Structure 1
């Protein structure tokens, strides 16, 4: 699949007319209202969104060309994605998760700590899972710890507070 940004995971079908149930992978579940189309992972195809509605934090999407439950079943456990041009602009000093994953993490003294493998969104603050050759660290994304994020240089600089890397 081309380099797209995942915005949802199809977890089930809904009804008999081809509607799919989607877990949003964005902070804004209503994001699908603003999209005319997405790409389906299973076939790397651009699909027009004909209708979307929401229940209990889930998006229910009807795509053009998927008109029955049998066709919709083929998409279960796959992702829907968008192109970078469809991303919303974020406020200053905020980043998309995909931008942070893979960045190198350094101490304020310049020591390489590891690489961001995954970002966990915990509610209070994000937590960066940082993998080094010897260990895995969980770094809270708080101002006392994260001092700089530089997407262009592909690095994050952290202040190592007591107990952080133990």
Structure 2
């Protein structure tokens, strides 16, 4: 598990007074402003976030220390992080996406299937993007109890029972 978790990213400037378009990665997008100051990936800069509204696909926000459109535009693509210890503890059967990325995936017989590259949520439920040597493309595994019966963060592994067709048959 990482010491910091990415909560969002700056998508660009909004307006002419230093506001930004902010993509939130929190379950409730507006919660990004509730975690206190956020820091850049390198930790060199900390900003307070004040939400000002919404725009298509993003929130609009004012960041402390960003007074102009040019300063806001210069931050485009910057990811914003929070220390892990300020995040709430989750129930036993829930996980932060950041904790799943990088875990090794095995089938129920113990054969390796690959490693979690990303977690995607397209509205119908989470999908684990799994990369394995020898696969031409990544596999998308539904993150359901049926397809993923075991997640063991301490051991750094997932046990999967993938539906037919997810992984090529040998």
Q: Which of 144, 147, 159 is equivalent to 1:145?
A: 147
Q: How does 1:83-98 map to 2 (within 5 A)?
A: 83-98=83-98
Which whole-Å CA distance do the structure 1 matches of 2:46 and 2:129 have between them?
Answer: 32
Which whole-Å CA distance do the structure 1 matches of 2:71 and 2:126 have between them?
Answer: 37
> TM-score normalized by structure 1?
0.88
**Post-superposition offset of 1:43:** 6.6
Structure 1 17/146 Cα, relative in aligned 2: closer, same or farther at 3 Å?
same
**Post-superposition offset of 1:33:** 3.4
> TM-score normalized by structure 2?
0.86
Which whole-Å CA distance do the structure 1 matches of 2:33 and 2:139 have between them?
Answer: 37
CA RMSD of aligned residues (A): 2.0
1:90-144 residue CA offsets vs partner (Å, 9 max, x unmatched): 2331111110010000111111111111111122221111111111322111222
SS at match of 2:89: coil
Q: How does 1:22-33 map to 2 (within 5 A)?
A: 22-33=22-33
Asked if 1 retains the 8 angstrom alpha-carbon contact of 2:8 and 2:32, the reply is: no
Which whole-Å CA distance do the structure 2 matches of 1:42 and 1:14 have between them?
Answer: 24
Q: How does 1:2-151 map to 2 (within 5 A)?
A: 4-41=4-41, 44-49=44-49, 51-56=50-55, 58-135=58-135, 136-151=138-153
Which whole-Å CA distance do the structure 1 matches of 2:145 and 2:52 have between them?
Answer: 37
Which whole-Å CA distance do the structure 2 matches of 1:165 and 1:32 have between them?
Answer: 36
Unaligned runs of 5+ in 1: none
Structure 1 68/161 Cα, relative in aligned 2: closer, same or farther at 3 Å?
closer
Which whole-Å CA distance do the structure 1 matches of 2:145 and 2:43 have between them?
Answer: 42
Which whole-Å CA distance do the structure 1 matches of 2:127 and 2:156 have between them?
Answer: 18
SS at match of 1:92: coil
Which whole-Å CA distance do the structure 2 matches of 1:61 and 1:24 have between them?
Answer: 11
